[in-house]
Structure 1
Amino acid sequence: MFKNAAEQEGYILASPNHINDTISLSENMLRTGRTIESTVRILPVNTSRIYVAGFSNGGRFANITPFFLKNINGIISCGASVMNPEMLSSKNRFHFIGVVGKKDFNYTELLKLQKILHRLKFQNQLIVFDGGQEWPNNDLLHTALMRFNLSDMAKGAIPKDSVYVQKAYDEDLRRFSVLRGQLKLLIAEKVLDEMLSVYRLHQNTDSLKELKKNLRKERLYRALKRNENAALFKESLLKEDYLYYLDEDVLTYNYNNLGWWNYQMSELDKFIQGGNTAEKAMGHRLFGFVNALIEDNIDLVRSEKQVDEEALLFLNMLKTITEPTDFDHYLKVISLAAKNEDFGTAIFYLEEALKKGFKDKEKLYAVEHTALLRITPEFNKVVEKYLKDARYEVIEE
């Protein structure tokens, strides 16, 4: 994803061959350290200009590398905040660049992180785009790398190039103008904030301050800002509800509350379908937040020595509500229910999956713990109804 931007700005890209969730954090960190050492040994790398980057889980991993490895000078964190901001210290500063879509549930976390970084006097910028939890495009990654170059020119780590500075300034101003023309005034303001942070070290920024002052006077800007503040407040309250009720429901296996969760998802869908731009983005963020929250709980339950299968069953049932087209969760419910010989529940979730378009018959007949279930007339009748041809014959008495 960084290849084109790195080519444009003259950066060397390097990555460990294997970094994944199946090995420990310490082992992943050792592999990252060895990669940096090897790269520095064989290529002419400026060791005062070593940066790490990643997206989502990769971004979260990148964010903690300066706490374990020396000489990390900056981070580009795409769609991820620092897991534990308390680890940040003024004794170990680095340049942090966040890149995030307004519909990404990490957006609010990165807004909070930016305030902390400002307070601790960390050099930082937050690049915002109109999107969800997705990789930013090449132009935005290119902008992030330019931020490092401009910073290092200001610090004297590399020679100052006035032509480069002016070209970068013109590109940023063009990005602001496009966003303003599209009436994306809050994102346009973020661009001005970035520019003021970066270019004050190179030139007079009075013209940028005037642009920001005029932008904030616009009636549309004020309306959008009010709507966003209201949406962010509402979002914080809903997040607290989701955190509280999920904890309670998992602890008590509260299947009766699945209806409440279904209602909540329909309410979020109303936000997304509504005409309020701020609430649309909030709806997308909350969908992402709920799904990430449930997935974290599933991982937590699985990591326990004695796996609580009842909690796992509830969480996978909940996931079929919050992410109804992810069929793996239906299959997990079928597997866990069949294991406990709760064939009624297994048949119900089988039909729900098939109704919503699941068609992989081979995968269906290979679900763990369903050997007895698969030969029942009820199972094969449902399969025959939706997939036409059941593996086992249905015999009516």
Structure 2
Amino acid sequence: MNTTYSVAKKIVIFERKFRIDAMVVLLDLDGTLINTASTKYKEYKDGVRQISIEDVPVFAGAREFVATLTNQGHKVYIISDSYPSYVKTISENIFHLEYLALSDKPNTSKTLKFLSDKGVNVNNDDIILVGDSSLDIHLGRKLRCKTIYLQLYNQNSEEFDDNDGIDERTTLKYGPTYFAKNYNTALEIVNFPLRHLLAIEGAALGLDTCNAVRFWNYKAPDHIVAIRCLARQENGACDKMSQAKIYYQIDNPERTAETLDILAKGASSYLAGLLQYSQHYKWDIFTYIPDKTTTTPPNKMKGIFNLIETTIPKGDIFSWSDNIRTSLRQEKNYHDRSQYIDQNLKINSSNLVSGKNIIVIDDQLTTGATAFAIRKKLKENGANNILFITLFYMILEVKDDKICPKCGKPLSIKVNRRNGNKFYSCQPERYGGDGCGYIENID
């Protein structure tokens, strides 16, 4: 792989080869098309008071966004959890769109019936949901359609209605397929969805993409710290682009060269894009969290790290204590995980990191304890800018609507860690559930 490729050239290729002719676009209303997340609009959204068209605070560019989608041939509908008369007034008079007032979002049965009544093939992969909250992403995942997290708000600017589910970290943890901070980016995603995939999710399809989840950022006057994730490890219902199947192969002693190549290609593509688009930062060292002597397969992360191609100098900075006998995965909460890292992972020499800009890669982000503990260690030893990358991040579980035919309890979607195949499980007590143990394979 040539990591000096031109990202711009790749984008041109994507535009020619992967443009989508028409999508079914489901748009949230409040916070996505109109600026009504503030608590002062709650009575209108709840149907207590009637809002006049003149008083609706439409986001700049929202009308043009909807008009462009429609003119390009996409089928566009509004899906909102606000009061029906409120949704009707705004949808019909401002955006001229058909709508579904879904007071109990995420209700998939009502959404599917609405789409079916409109003649939409609900099994069609060309459905995408655009929203600003965890409720929107939750609904999209239950529908198994692609989702765009559209973040137009400065969340520190005013008080929000808690019922709207506007919380960046929670929404990220629900695992949207795509991310946009403006309508232009959202429009690009609708028209060219493949080129906007996360780096490893793109690599799984044979594509070079350099996108990552911006999980956390900190910018001080003299340094930055950031956490980025290259793919989603789904838990439960999700769109087809997520890659838990590949994640579970990382720990598999029989993992294939193809799996390693996908992981390395995704990381290499992200780093190449990082260097091209962030030329004002000079990265001095690219390193990884090493494997313990008890890790299976041996050199699990080192094997992937060695395959990643980058012009950034590679180095071994960290090592585990010799007498360590337990696993980080045995520590179940943030505090215990942080303490585990602090006590057992060491920096080989402060001279390796003092004054340096450092990129660290690891396999998974769950609680974030490892990332923040590494940040603390590096800063204590004089590191400057720090970028912590994970191949995957674990997203929150979204249960399917499918019911166990034996006991009537909701089924969960699980993944066979050996082969990556998904199955329905009525999770029994011995595996942390309260079900009967019924299992059904998913085709």
Return the TM-score normalized by structure 1: 0.28
Higher relative contact order (CA 8 A, sep 6+): 2
Return the TM-score normalized by structure 2: 0.26
Q: Greater Rg, structure 1 or structure 2?
A: 1
Between Structure 1 and Structure 2, the one with more helix by share is 1
